Chain A
Amino acid sequence: MRYSLYNLAQNALAGHARWTPVWRDASPRNGYDVVIVGGGGHGLATAYHLAKDHGITNVAVVEKGWIGGGNTGRNTTIIRSNYLLPGNTGFYELSMKLWERQEQDLNFNTMVSQRGIINLVHTDGQRDAAARRGNQMRINGIDAELWDAETTRKHLPMLNFDNARFPIKGGLVQKRAGTARHDAVAWGYARGASSLGVDIIQNCEVTGFVRDGGRVTGVETTRGTINAAKVGLAVAGNTSRLGDMAGLRLPIESHVLQAFVSEGLKPLIPNVITFGMGHFYISQSDKGGLVFGGDLDGYNSYAQRGNLPIVEEVAECAMAILPGVGRVRVLRSWGGIMDMTMDGSPIIDATPIDGLYLNGGWCYGGFKATPGSGFVFAHLLATGRPHHEAERFKLDRFRSGATLDERGAGPTPNLQ
């Protein structure tokens, strides 16, 4: 059903008793052309683009829990395309352009809010680095502005400009960046894919791969064997576990990232703000809660929860730039499982195993990539060739030396 003001009014008059399910809760069939493992934003977006762009509809998405229940349901909703390195710059802008048309494409309210982002700078060196990144963006046709302290103070007067330790000197601004409603993104892609014929199969955990010689020809699941000409993995957080089932060791460590929501406040933060002297980011949801997060806890974890030292550190960062939130109460906190790679950049590539393709390694930045990731992974699955905006996300780039080291931290996943 196509949503419109007309059928919204009709259904309201009918007491909302006639809405049909947003997607088919499908049962697994014997086999498909493509099985996508992972019903998060990336997996669902991939299925949608396979059907929409390539006419490949004999597709199943298998999800071990409920769709969007992993990192898609846990992130801090930020979308942006302000990356520095060639290979990343173009990809995230591809994704941003898809965000901009997502609600029209999907006929679904994903609450894409291009409210802008500012990366605060606190030293001359940081300002120079911000200028460099801004220029790199502009050379690639991406919007970027460098604000000085005065301009920043005009827009965001509540920030702590004269902090002796971390004075705010300005920031790099991308106005087209912002936030989107993460759950709705999963539901929107699920609805889009399902309406085009894709089977979305929940409560279906992959336990192994079906092999024919060396080739992967299907998946073993808790709901039976499902054959597939191609299998695409989109299970970031659990990529190593699936890789292990296929006999692959990967350049990934799974780490916990915590996130937080405060009690609802009147509008305070109109955009997304990131701290320059620590890893910290904050915005305000439409319900009024401050949505914020910071650094990884730092140790390998699959627990989807973290510990108090990083909670304290995140709170310290918040207080450094926005001391006015000092008495705001935190409502809830949670954790996700990050696929931390050895250079901080993702992996979208065929694996050395015929029939098996990998989309993972998103570190803590996967949500903004959701539309772009689905688009390019569908391209890879459909054509067997990487999309040119994703061709540097190779699995073997660590051995070949072609790493995308945005942070320059070396092969230490918890420092990316």
Chain B
Amino acid sequence: MRLTCPYCGSRDISEFRYLGDASAVRPRLGTGSAEPPTDLEIAEISDATFLRENPRGLVHELWYHTGGCRAWIEVRRNTATHDIMSTRPASIRAVTASRADRQPDHATQSASEAQRTPPA
């Protein structure tokens, strides 16, 4: 298996480290107040942390080019055949776009909003 790093070109899979589902977005928790999280917030963060779609077929996933330029790459790959459809640099836009491809299970802020506000 080979991945095409957008910066380094086609490299053997052993140069990369797998993270997982690129569409897993951690929801922003609260507003930084001292209030304990609500049951809904706990459910949201628990679901985002632990639940996965895990399809047999096309997936968006994150790989890290640890043996090369150390960029994070978003890969579109087929888990039934290992065919690589495309690779591109991972970015906030990319993550938001892949979530837009799916029906959200629950209301979450977009990843870009979450990135702008530092955690409390």
> A interface vs B, CB < 8 Å?
238, 240-241, 244, 249-254, 298-303, 307, 309, 342, 398-399, 411-414
In the complex, the answer to whether B53 meets A240 with C-beta atoms within 8 Å is yes
Q: Which residues from chain B contact A302 at a C-beta distance below 8 Å?
A: 56, 79-80
In the complex, the answer to whether B14 meets A309 with C-beta atoms within 8 Å is yes
Select the residue from B46, B49, B59, B79 with max chain A CB neighbours within 10 A.
B79
Q: Which residues from chain A contact B43 at a C-beta distance below 8 Å?
A: 399
| Set A241, A252, A299: member contacting B52, Cβ < 8 A | A252
**A-B contact list, 7 entries, CB within 8 Å:** A299-B13, A300-B54, A300-B59, A301-B82, A302-B80, A303-B79, A303-B82
Q: Give the distance to chain A from B106, nearest Cβ to Cβ, in Å.
A: 11
Given contacts A253-B54, A398-B50, 8 further A-B contacts (CB under 8 A): A251-B52, A252-B52, A298-B17, A300-B20, A300-B61, A300-B79, A302-B79, A398-B49
Q: Which residues from chain A contact B12 at a C-beta distance below 8 Å?
A: 309
Q: Give the distance to chain B from A85, nearest Cβ to Cβ, in Å.
A: 18
Q: Which residues from chain B contact A301 at a C-beta distance below 8 Å?
A: 79, 82
Q: Give the distance to chain A from B66, nearest Cβ to Cβ, in Å.
A: 12
A24 to B50 Cα, complex, angstroms: 41
B75 (CB) vs chain A CBs: closest residue: A299
Q: Give the distance to chain A from B51, nearest Cβ to Cβ, in Å.
A: 4
B46 (CB) vs chain A CBs: closest residue: A399
In the complex, the answer to whether A307 meets B1 with C-beta atoms within 8 Å is yes
Interface residues on B, range: 20 to 34
Interface membership of chain B positions 36-50, coded 1 if the CB is closer than 8 angstroms to chain A and 0 otherwise: 000000110011011
Q: Which residues from chain B contact A300 at a C-beta distance below 8 Å?
A: 20, 54, 59, 61, 79
Q: Which residues from chain B contact A413 at a C-beta distance below 8 Å?
A: 20
A238 to B50 Cα, complex, angstroms: 17
Select the residue from A299, A302, A309, A414 with max chain B CB neighbours within 10 A.
A299
Q: Which residues from chain B contact A241 at a C-beta distance below 8 Å?
A: 55-56
List 10 A-B pairs, minimum CB-CB distance, nearest first: A240-B54, A309-B14, A398-B50, A399-B46, A249-B51, A251-B50, A302-B56, A299-B18, A342-B50, A307-B1
Select the residue from A241, A300, A414 with max chain B CB neighbours within 10 A.
A300
Given A240-B52, A249-B52, A307-B13, are A414 and B20 also a contact pair (CB < 8 Å)? yes
A46 to B79 Cα, complex, angstroms: 30
| Set B18, B47, B50, B105: member contacting A414, Cβ < 8 A | B18
| Set A240, A244, A399: member contacting B50, Cβ < 8 A | A399
B117 within 8 A of A: no
In the complex, the answer to whether A244 meets B53 with C-beta atoms within 8 Å is yes
In the complex, the answer to whether B54 meets A252 with C-beta atoms within 8 Å is yes
